[in-house]
Chains A and B, each alone.
Chain A
Amino acid sequence: MRKLLKRPDLGIIIGCLFIFALFTLYDPAQWFNWGTVSNIGEYTAILGLLAIGQSFVVLIREIDLSVGSVYGIVGIAFVGLENNNVSDVLAFVLAMLLALLVGLVNAALVIRGKLSSMIVTLGGLFFYRGLIYIITHGAVTGVPQAVRQNWFAQLLGGHSLRIQNGFLLLLILGFLCAVTLHETRFGNHLLALGGDPASAESRGVPLGKVRTIAFALCSLFAGLSAIVTLTNDPETSVSLGTGMELEAIAAVVVGGTLLTGGRGTMLGTILGSFFLTAVRSEIIALGAPPSWYVSFVGIALLTLVTINTLLLKRLRISG
């Protein structure tokens, strides 16, 4: 019991149970409709992948504001390559290399340049978005229909047993990341760096390496999320991913990861993404204007962060 109370993701577990019960009682027809479930699954996968990447960075007390633009530029690079007859696997690899490059640049500026990650990634947020506009001249097309039928596109964007492959991918990667975080030496280093950088360093944790991997993972997940989106949904535009950085951070934090680092779970992050997505879907289903969702994210963020912070204080005091 005590162990459960100490889980950082307790708040979001309760939150998810609560909305599940609420929607079941309130609007069961809509809630248990396969179309709804499928929609929620799709968007949870997109947001969840972004948020998992962001979790790594937040866990080491940094932040990555650039993911929305990275999501955009990697997605658009992928589509662009596809449209220029590059094979889809190669397009995927090249697009992911671009994501990796962005992550390494972020890491280098934070570590070598000794800049705060907020400045670096704020710059990246503008820079990559500007780059998208300049390269595409404002016009982008989706993944070609023919390509979308290929096995590779189907692998990322199709369905297995009527379940979105993207969602399955989220579960698999989420599980792997959770294992990495809690069962491996790298995970231990990551949490130590986030919890107390000075002691971590004195204990021989290679800070630079851990930071670099965290930033690289964050950008890679953003890129992957974009490709999953595009293989599933042909619609795209130059504003692809705008504002997603804030949504991803919200999902991470709603999921119980502390912005002060060192404490959080991947389960919480995935549930956080699910929570935001499910409520969004319900808001739209109820016929409310979509803008309500934006307000809702704000309220969810404020409420859960407050609960988590106060819960943590209470635990610290009563021990």
Chain B
Amino acid sequence: MITGSDGQSRPAGSPKKPLISIKNVGLSYGNFQALTDVSVDFYQGELVGLVGDNGAGKTTLIRIISGIIPPTSGEVYFDGERIIKFHPKKAIDLGLECIQQAIGLCDNLSVGRNYFLGREPVRRILGLPFLDKKKIREASAKVVHDFGLRDSVDVDDEIALLSGGEKQTFKIARAVTFRNRVIIMDEPTNHLSVRERTRVNELAVQLKQQGLLVIYITHDIFQIHRIADRIVILENGRKVTDVPRDAMSAEALEGIIRDGSRTSTKEPKVS
């Protein structure tokens, strides 16, 4: 590993340019400053763990990268090109798949229609784009089967009929089968059983080995420390740590997160 002049680390022997480069990004939701001056680079073929306490701004950073919200300040580069217009469609076209934390499925649509939402396969009849329902059904049924969802799942059924874990598995399956250059997973193991978690982690490593950039978000440092190449820690909207995995132990990193949250000005949520 070498460390760049900007204090960021990147995989050894890769002088290549970052695939995604975040420069001095800030974002405020109204009065609330969710991200402050965040700069971080992500490279092809690495698995980055993005860690931080609840409310640290991880999801917000991902929402910017996947085009859902534009940053209020700073710049985002993809493959060296500055992103001016932020739209999820653009991110998807650039080859970025994101498993969003809270959104991504429309409860009223069937499993198959959710699978292809936004990139529906069509058959042209008289030049008009008709949904290729056969392909939708077959492709999504294959995914449902390959990812071990129960056999009784009918891809023509509304996705609302799936359980929380099944929905999460389905979201992961969708992102993985459409894989392209980048896969972002925002707390992908929520709702999942222990066995399923292990599978997701294996999947993340496999995807990286296939040359993809994988950004894996979690607040469980021990879980990610086992598989990540690099750990980035956010705290109160700022990047506080960006180290190769081997540079620090999980315990030491956990200490950073814990101490950070103690000095946090935010009051603990009572619910």
Chain A directly contacts chain B within the complex, with at least one CB pair under 8 Å: yes
A interface with B by C-beta (< 8 Å): 202, 315-317, 319
Using CB atoms, name the residue of chain B closest to A313: B30
How far is A316 from B33 in the complex, measured between Cα atoms in Å?
11
A318 CB, nearest partner CB in chain B, Å: 9
B interface with A by C-beta (< 8 Å): 28-32, 72, 271
A199 CB, nearest partner CB in chain B, Å: 9
How far is A133 from B31 in the complex, measured between Cα atoms in Å?
54
Q: Are A319 and B271 in contact (CB under 8 A)?
A: no
Q: Are A202 and B271 in contact (CB under 8 A)?
A: yes
- Is chain A's binding surface mostly helix, strand, loop or mixed? helix
Further pairs besides A316-B29, A316-B31: 10, Cβ < 8 Å:
A202-B271, A315-B30, A316-B30, A317-B28, A317-B30, A317-B72, A319-B28, A319-B30, A319-B31, A319-B32
**B-chain residues with CB within 8 Å of residue A202 when the two chains form the complex:** 271
**A-chain residues with CB within 8 Å of residue B30 when the two chains form the complex:** 315-317, 319
B155 CB, nearest partner CB in chain A, Å: 30
How far is A319 from B271 in the complex, measured between Cα atoms in Å?
27
**A-chain residues with CB within 8 Å of residue B29 when the two chains form the complex:** 316
Using CB atoms, name the residue of chain A closest to B30: A316
How far is A319 from B32 in the complex, measured between Cα atoms in Å?
8
**A-chain residues with CB within 8 Å of residue B72 when the two chains form the complex:** 317
A9 CB, nearest partner CB in chain B, Å: 20
How far is A316 from B28 in the complex, measured between Cα atoms in Å?
9
**A-chain residues with CB within 8 Å of residue B31 when the two chains form the complex:** 316, 319
**B-chain residues with CB within 8 Å of residue A319 when the two chains form the complex:** 28, 30-32
How far is A316 from B34 in the complex, measured between Cα atoms in Å?
13
How far is A315 from B30 in the complex, measured between Cα atoms in Å?
7
What 7 pairs between A and B have smallest CB-CB spacing? A319-B31, A316-B30, A319-B30, A202-B271, A317-B30, A319-B28, A317-B28
**A-chain residues with CB within 8 Å of residue B28 when the two chains form the complex:** 317, 319
Using CB atoms, name the residue of chain A closest to B32: A319
How far is A316 from B30 in the complex, measured between Cα atoms in Å?
4
How far is A317 from B70 in the complex, measured between Cα atoms in Å?
13
* Interface CB pairs A-B, < 8 A, 11: A202-B271, A315-B30, A316-B29, A316-B30, A317-B28, A317-B30, A317-B72, A319-B28, A319-B30, A319-B31, A319-B32
**A-chain residues with CB within 8 Å of residue B32 when the two chains form the complex:** 319
Using CB atoms, name the residue of chain A closest to B271: A202
**B-chain residues with CB within 8 Å of residue A316 when the two chains form the complex:** 29-31
**B-chain residues with CB within 8 Å of residue A315 when the two chains form the complex:** 30
How far is A42 from B28 in the complex, measured between Cα atoms in Å?
47
B184 CB, nearest partner CB in chain A, Å: 26
How far is A296 from B60 in the complex, measured between Cα atoms in Å?
43
**A-chain residues with CB within 8 Å of residue B271 when the two chains form the complex:** 202
A308 CB, nearest partner CB in chain B, Å: 16
How far is A317 from B71 in the complex, measured between Cα atoms in Å?
12
